[in-house]
Structure 1
Amino acid sequence: MRVLVTRPAAQAATWVRLLAARGIDAAALPLIDIVPPADTQAVAAAWRALPARRLAVFVSPNAAEQFFIHRPPDMAWPAQVQAASIGPGTTQALFALGVTAGQLVEPDADAAQFDSEALWQRLRTQSWRDASVLVVRGDGGREWLADTLRAQGARVDFVSAYRRVAPRFDDDAVLRTRLDAALADGHEHLWLFSSSEAIEHLLQARPRARWHEARAIATHPRIAQRARDAGFASVHETRPTLEAVVACIQSLAS
């Protein structure tokens, strides 16, 4: 059974390496491409205004990495500004980029899900009246956390640090071959989904494909439901940590 990791290319490569170290046959099949934002000046302006913020929320590892690409050479992360992470992957990215543990806010390690609601459980103990908050994301996304912070009196702005686009399988023979192999033999492949958007891109790439023999692991209930709606025969939910994903894969393999 081959596990198909559908995260963007950089994260997919890391996951393939980590899964291989656990003896799992895994291959990257990125279903989201990360490209620069339409307005790079807006990202640069967000950096210049950062010292006046109370909090910057990063919705994904890509949000962190792409935001820091535009960091002015003479700026470090402001010591007084908190950085909020949605989950472990984003936390690791922020640490690698220079944010310290004392500046970071993230969901509890044992949270049932790593999402905006789990992050809010850590943020809700603070007063947000008149606080300035920046949400760093791609081109769009959920606004539940922003709406919740605004309801508590915060001023919330967004900046798009990158764009998510569908991959062009016709331009990559290796990815096209992996996709066709998965379609031809659903029993021998296991899809690992960490984004509903990845599923949308998959359906767009092969609009006439049938998924009644396909199996998937999803790292959030919303993602799992989207896979079921798409017709996947067997969809298993798991937390997005490496240990949880490995345990789920091993249970299916046995």
Structure 2
Amino acid sequence: MSAAALRASVILTRPQGKNESLARRLAAAGVPALLLPALQIDPITHDAGAFPLPADYDLIVFVSGHAAQRYFSELSARGAMQEWPGRTLAATVGVSSARQLYDMARIPRTHILHPGAGGEQDSESLWCLLAPRLPTMQRALIVRGGKGREWLGKKLEEAGLQVQRLAVYARRPVQWTPQQAGQFARALSAEHPCVCLLTSTESVNAVHANVVRLGLSDAWSRSRFVVIHERVASRLQSILKASGKVEAPVVKICQPSDDALFQTITLMASLSESS
């Protein structure tokens, strides 16, 4: 790895608890990482009698691994974590979020559906897998955060399913402390460009709010960016363009797994200034 990579800084903005393992791998590779969560995730609890159970649905879609974790935690707390119903399909938008389902021994692997690791990890890809099965389904549950895309839910409704949305967590922007702001400013002012990881449009908005508040828009726009979907890249590019950045930002889209993120981030950190 080049000397540039050894001095490059990485900014990881996933929520607290999601960055630490990746940061350790990067540090071992000689790439220091600054952990600056853009969003805080707060649980949403529900009345016991109103909590939806797996047996009431033909399909349960978990929009993230955290959504699955929160749902099963609430089931266990209510003593309702029984054998998974034979007719209920559990689905996620990608491989990473499916890991929570595979770890649940009560869910047969044949009942878990998600796009493969080689393709896009999103609602559109999941829809392609679900569409042939929909004629046998009547009711679907989407387990999600307080806000999110409505695309898949609307598609299921258009196909004739009754769709219920269950919010099990809320995401809110984090305003970085003075200490975090100082670390961020020093990373941006270093000789070599920072590599900034952004994993949702909400995190792009939250990081940008901190950047504007701190007066660091110009320095941030010179960073290199790693994102996990074209929608995230599009939102980032829109914000940077609106802020006056003329040249196209350096943006790399990769899969959301830690392995893929590690490889992409280390590659971006090792690129020469002229790359």
TM-score (norm 1): 0.86
Gaps of at least 5 residues in structure 2 are 1-7
Question: C-alpha separation between the residues in 1 aligned to 2:11 and 2:188?
Answer: 12
The equivalent residue for 1:45 is: 50
Question: C-alpha separation between the residues in 1 aligned to 2:143 and 2:41?
Answer: 14
CA-to-aligned-CA distance 1:174-202 (integer Å, 9 cap, x gap): x3343232343383420011111111111
Residue 109 (structure 2) pairs with residue 101 (structure 1): yes
Q: Tell me the number of residue pairs that the alignment of Structure 1 and Structure 2 aligns.
A: 248
Residue 263 (structure 2) pairs with residue 240 (structure 1): no
Residue 101 (structure 2) pairs with residue 85 (structure 1): no
CA-to-aligned-CA distance 1:192-227 (integer Å, 9 cap, x gap): 111111111112223232133121111111111222
Query: Residue 65 of structure 2 contacts residue 96 of structure 2 at CA under 8 Å; is this kept in 1?
Result: yes
The equivalent residue for 1:65 is: 69
Question: C-alpha separation between the residues in 1 aligned to 2:206 and 2:81?
Answer: 37
Query: Residue 86 of structure 1 contacts residue 119 of structure 1 at CA under 8 Å; is this kept in 2?
Result: yes
Aligned-residue CA RMSD in angstroms? 2.4
1:1-254 pair list within 5 angstroms: 1-20=8-27, 24-37=31-44, 40-41=45-46, 45-47=50-52, 49-71=53-75, 72-76=78-82, 78-80=84-86, 81-98=88-105, 99-111=107-119, 113-128=120-135, 131-170=138-177, 173=179, 175-185=180-190, 187-207=192-212, 208-210=215-217, 211-231=220-240, 233-252=249-268, 253-254=270-271
Partner-residue secondary structure (3-state), 2:46? helix
Q: How far is 1:76 from its partner?
A: 2.8
TM-score (norm 2): 0.80
CA-to-aligned-CA distance 1:46-104 (integer Å, 9 cap, x gap): 34x32110111111122112222211224235232221111122111222344442221
Quickly say closer, same or farther: Cα 1:152–1:91, change in 2 above 3 A: same
Question: C-alpha separation between the residues in 2 aligned to 1:116 and 1:216?
Answer: 23
Q: Which moved more, 1:137-146 or 1:225-234?
A: 225-234
Q: How far is 1:15 from its partner?
A: 2.8
Gaps of at least 5 residues in structure 1 are none
Higher normalized contact order (CA 8 Å, seq sep 6+, divided by chain length): 2
Query: Residue 35 of structure 1 contacts residue 164 of structure 1 at CA under 8 Å; is this kept in 2?
Result: yes
Amino acid in the other structure paired with 2:67: A
